[in-house]
């Protein structure tokens, strides 16, 4: 197996939704043995992750306390296998990457539980799609 392919999760501040998505994504693909890993960034990053997000993920055994939000780069976009936007405007992004939009995820600052639920639903579909794409073709196909 080659190097892990990157799924880049973006949200404006890289302090909540993209961190949640990346943490759960890494857990899901690791549990399924898939060759992917998450990265996250923002278009206008905050200085630190949301304390509520850090606490929620810590309660679920996911440690993101050391994560520092960062600005997305063209290299991030061009190097990603997929780019998932959680509230960023894809027109503001350079790099020509195809951007999947999860615009139905509510702001975590307003309803953290609803944001987590929406992200998990999207991730279940994404990981199932990636797993199906990674299956070897049947012999003779």
Q: Is 34 domain-assigned?
A: yes
Q: Is 54 domain-assigned?
A: yes
Q: Is 95 domain-assigned?
A: yes
Burial class (CB in 10 A: 0-12, 13-18, 19+), 127: buried
Q: Is 39 domain-assigned?
A: yes
Q: Is 140 domain-assigned?
A: no
Number of domains present in the structure of the chain: 1
What residues have CB less than 8 Å from 116, skipping those under 6 apart? 20, 56, 108
pLDDT by 10s per residue, the chain, length 141: 568 899 999 999 999 999 999 999 999 999 999 999 999 999 999 999 999 999 999 999 999 999 999 999 989 998 999 999 999 876 667 666 678 999 999 999 999 999 999 999 999 999 999 999 876 655 554
* Whole-prediction pTM: 0.91
Return the CATH number at 10. 3.40.50.2300
């Amino acid at each position: 197996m080659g190097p892990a392919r990157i799924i880049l999760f973006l949200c404006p501040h890289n302090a909540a939704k993209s961190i949640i998505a990346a943490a759960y994504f890494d857990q899901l693909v690791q549990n399924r043995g898939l060759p992917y890993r998450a990265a996250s960034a923002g278009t206008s990053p905050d200085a630190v992750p949301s304390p509520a997000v850090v606490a929620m993920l810590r309660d679920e055994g996911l440690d993101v306390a050391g994560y520092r939000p960062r600005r997305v780069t063209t290299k991030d976009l061009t190097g990603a296998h997929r780019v998932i936007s959680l509230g960023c405007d894809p027109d503001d992004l350079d790099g020509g990457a195809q951007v999947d939009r999860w615009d139905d995820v509510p702001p975590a600052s307003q309803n953290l539980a609803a944001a987590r639920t929406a992200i998990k639903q999207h991730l279940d579909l994404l990981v199932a799609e990636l797993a199906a794409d990674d299956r070897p073709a049947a012999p003779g196909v």
